[in-house]
């Protein structure tokens, strides 16, 4: 009789619209965005400088070639001096080899350092995602985060390796080439540079429009990754209900949106390239026509015209690459924005209050001395209020002034209708979510005064929907207590009745596979329970930990679990009387408050709503029906 997590939105059906992307930031300067990469670039700045200098020297050596051609035409060719051609030919060969060698050296300078930058950025992003509160992950689709950690990192690395370098190099080569052309013939040079003004205006217009399209494309790529991830993880559901075609249609629709955005980017880039290539070609044609007239009239030499045109042709790449470099720079700026949207989010650790003197220090440090530690008070919730950040405006709080006291060493069962907030309440104890009002204390210390790392050592949890990782059985269980001994691991497996592990091919070293899907639901739940108890926590929170077990296994687990519960303070979300009977007392959660507290038998006698909840029968005295919350064995509630 498992239930969905209380009060959270239901999982998205395959035929629903794709997940929403995070809010769009306001447009701003691409340069300002890219400058935020400086902390990562600074350690390799000298490698980037060396790469830029190598590329610049290579490009400038290419600009010397037109001057050599000018000398060849005006010298050996004009004077029919074949012997003089050898010297100029060797010089051209040296310049070509120098250009090739310097470009190769440029790549060598940046390959390893930039791979290190990408690695550090990925590591920082992953570490930040681990520190961000659960409420952040509730708002973000997993595909959006995945795309930021993969494709966006690649975009940034490629920008640093190529566009960043050649925006600098090509600009300097262009200015140097223009200077050479003015030196050779200022009249032809004026004709050639006429397109510069319209190109500057066009590039400014292009940058604004392309930046918006690039951002939309990257967000849509994240949405597409989310759909793909959901399809892979939910493949059993899709096949079971025959919804694979519906999900395929949803994927195609999302892919079509991305395609349209990519085509828009391509059209923008094509229009820019048409102008960037077309205008200089027209100017070059005009220069050629005027130059030929000048040579015919003897006002310039043929060598000068050849040198001028060769220099102009050498500048085609710096000019034509401008569109691609600007486009990729905008994509890199967008990727940087997306990276820092996560990095700028407030981590959960930042919400830790200062540890005050006295009792808080004692609990935080784990002290048990009589002089420092207060009397053991168990778990106490006082006037606790909570609502999810994405709850509709004007809706009431989920928890509305809730009061509950779980005495030290006591096991308290928490029951209530589906959606009443049971799972949410358990998530407040380890501060997976922050309360909006009131106070929660552990042995008299406010949980906001306990550092999160220490708090999560004190409070151990087992969720109704167990999550396992692509790791061995022992690694999954020991996540609950990394320093636990082999003996503690075996004891936890025994408590959870997870003896099936010993029959696996490699025992506790067996890999369970992604999401633990190679195991049954009951096996996954037992390993999750073992993970919760392996560290012998001071406070134990169990969210319906036996829902996937058969009756026989459940009885064995309950018998072993009683020994663990006798040594800790526990809050157990229960949906069945068999689980309720593990507890010393029971708390009934209704309408955001604790409606009643007592033993199972006391509440059966005195509270109609509790009786209805446990039996599944309408008594007329409860606040509503308990559909799906009853028991198959009515004898347990007499």
CA–CA gap between residue 310 and residue 92 (Å, rounded) = 14
- Quick one: pLDDT at residue 46? 93
Please enumerate in sequence order all residues whose Cβ is within 8 A of that of 261, keeping only pairs 6 or more positions apart, or say none: 213, 216, 217, 220
* DSSP bridge pairs for 399: 386
- Quick one: pLDDT at residue 370? 37
Domain ranges across the chain: 35-346, 359-466+521-637
Number of DSSP helices (H) and strands (E) in the chain, helices first: 24, 10
CA–CA gap between residue 198 and residue 187 (Å, rounded) = 20
CA–CA gap between residue 386 and residue 9 (Å, rounded) = 16
* DSSP bridge pairs for 570: 411, 540
- Quick one: pLDDT at residue 588? 92
Its pTM stands at 0.68
Helical spans, DSSP H, in 344-382: 359-365
Choices 1.20.1090.10, 3.30.700.30, 1.20.1560.10, 3.40.50.300: CATH for 35-346: 1.20.1560.10
- Quick one: pLDDT at residue 368? 39
Residue 55's nearest CA partner among 449, 383, 318 is: 318
Q: What CATH code would you report for 359-466+521-637?
A: 3.40.50.300
Measured in whole angstroms, the distance separating CA 300 from the mean position of its chain's CA atoms is 63
- Quick one: pLDDT at residue 41? 92
DSSP state of 280: H
Angle (deg, nearest 10), helices 244-297 and 196-233: 160
- Strands of the sheet with 585-590, listed across from one edge: 459-462, 539-543, 569-573, 411-416, 585-590, 593-598
CA–CA gap between residue 300 and residue 611 (Å, rounded) = 107
Residue with tokens 């044609």: 285
The answer to whether 113 and 41 have CB atoms below 8 angstroms apart is no
- Quick one: pLDDT at residue 625? 38
Residue 540's nearest CA partner among 530, 532, 550, 528 is: 532
3-state SS, 218-256, equals HHHHHHHHHHHHHHHHCHHHHHHCCCHHHHHHHHHHHHH
Same fold flag, 35-346 and 359-466+521-637? no
Residue 335's nearest CA partner among 100, 139, 163 is: 163
Residue 21's nearest CA partner among 234, 224, 175 is: 224
Please enumerate in sequence order all residues whose Cβ is within 8 A of that of 70, keeping only pairs 6 or more positions apart, or say none: 184, 303, 304, 306, 307, 310
For 14-48, the pLDDT digits (tens) are: 333 444 445 455 555 788 888 999 999 999 999 99
Give the Cα-Cα-Cα angle 512, 515, 151 (nearest 5 degrees).
Answer: 120
- Pick out the chain residues at pLDDT < 70: 1-28, 76-84, 197, 207, 232-242, 348-375, 513-517, 547-548, 550, 616-638
């Amino acid at each position: 009789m498992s239930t969905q997590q209380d009060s959270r939105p239901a999982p998205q059906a395959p035929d629903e619209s794709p997940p929403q992307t995070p809010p769009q930031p306001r447009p701003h300067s691409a340069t300002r965005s890219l400058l935020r990469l400086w902390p990562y670039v600074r350690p390799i700045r000298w490698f980037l400088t060396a790469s830029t200098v190598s590329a610049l020297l290579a490009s400038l050596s290419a600009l010397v070639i037109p001057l050599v051609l000018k000398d060849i035409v005006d010298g050996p060719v004009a004077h029919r001096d074949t012997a003089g051609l050898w010297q100029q030919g060797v010089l051209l060969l040296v310049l070509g080899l120098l250009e090739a060698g310097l470009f190769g050296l440029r790549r060598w300078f940046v390959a390893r350092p930039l791979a290190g930058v990408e690695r550090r950025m990925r590591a920082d992003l992953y570490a930040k995602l681990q520190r961000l509160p659960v409420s952040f992950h509730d708002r973000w689709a997993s595909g959006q985060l995945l795309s930021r950690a993969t494709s966006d990192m690649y975009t940034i690395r490629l920008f640093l390796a190529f566009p960043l370098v050649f925006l600098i190099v090509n600009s300097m080569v262009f200015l140097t080439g223009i200077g050479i052309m003015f030196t050779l013939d200022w009249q032809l040079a004026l004709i050639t540079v006429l397109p510069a003004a319209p190109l500057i205006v066009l590039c400014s217009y292009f940058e604004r429009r392309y930046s918006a399209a690039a951002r939309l494309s990257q967000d849509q790529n994240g949405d597409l990754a989310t759909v793909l991830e959901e399809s892979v993880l939910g493949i059993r559901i899709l096949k079971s209900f025959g919804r694979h075609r519906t999900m395929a249609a949803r994927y195609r629709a999302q892919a079509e949106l991305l395609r349209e955005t990519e085509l828009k980017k391509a059209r923008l880039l094509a229009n820019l390239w048409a102008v960037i290539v077309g205008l200089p070609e027209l100017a070059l044609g005009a220069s050629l026509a005027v130059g030929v007239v000048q040579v015919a009239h003897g006002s310039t030499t043929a060598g000068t015209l050849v040198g001028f045109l060769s220099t102009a042709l050498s500048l085609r790449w710096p000019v034509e690459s401008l569109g691609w470099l600007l486009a990729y720079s905008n994509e890199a700026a967008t990727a940087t924005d997306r990276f820092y949207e996560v990095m700028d989010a407030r981590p959960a650790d930042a919400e830790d209050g200062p540890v005050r003197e006295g009792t808080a220090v004692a609990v935080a440090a784990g002290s048990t001395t009589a002089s420092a530690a207060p009397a053991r008070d168990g778990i106490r919730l006082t006037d606790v209020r909570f609502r999810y950040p994405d709850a509709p405006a004007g809706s009431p709080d989920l928890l509305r002034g809730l009061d509950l006291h779980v005495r030290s060493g006591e096991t308290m069962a928490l029951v209530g209708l589906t959606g009443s907030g049971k799972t949410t309440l358990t998530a407040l104890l380890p501060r997976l979510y922050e309360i909006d009002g009131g106070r929660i204390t552990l042995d008299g210390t406010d949980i906001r005064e306990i550092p999160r790392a220490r708090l999560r050592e004190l409070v151990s949890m087992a969720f109704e929907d167990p999550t396992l990782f692509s790791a061995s059985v022992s690694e999954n269980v020991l996540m609950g207590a990394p320093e636990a001994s082999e003996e503690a691991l075996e004891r936890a497996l025994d408590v959870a009745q997870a003896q099936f592990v010993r029959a696996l091919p490699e025992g506790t070293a067996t890999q369970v596979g992604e999401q633990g899907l190679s195991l049954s639901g009951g096996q996954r739940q037992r390993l999750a329970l073992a993970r919760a108890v392996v560290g012998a926590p001071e406070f134990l929170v169990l969210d319906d930990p036996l829902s996937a077990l058969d009756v026989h296994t459940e009885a064995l687990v309950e018998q072993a679990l009683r020994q663990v519960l006798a040594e800790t303070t526990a809050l157990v979300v229960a949906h069945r009387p068999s689980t309720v009977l593990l507890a010393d007392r029971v708390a009934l959660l209704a309408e955001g408050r604790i409606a009643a507290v007592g033993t199972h038998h006391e509440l059966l006698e005195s509270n109609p709503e509790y009786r209805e909840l446990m039996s599944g029968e309408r008594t007329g005295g409860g606040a509503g029906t308990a559909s799906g919350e009853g028991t198959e064995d009515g004898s347990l509630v007499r």
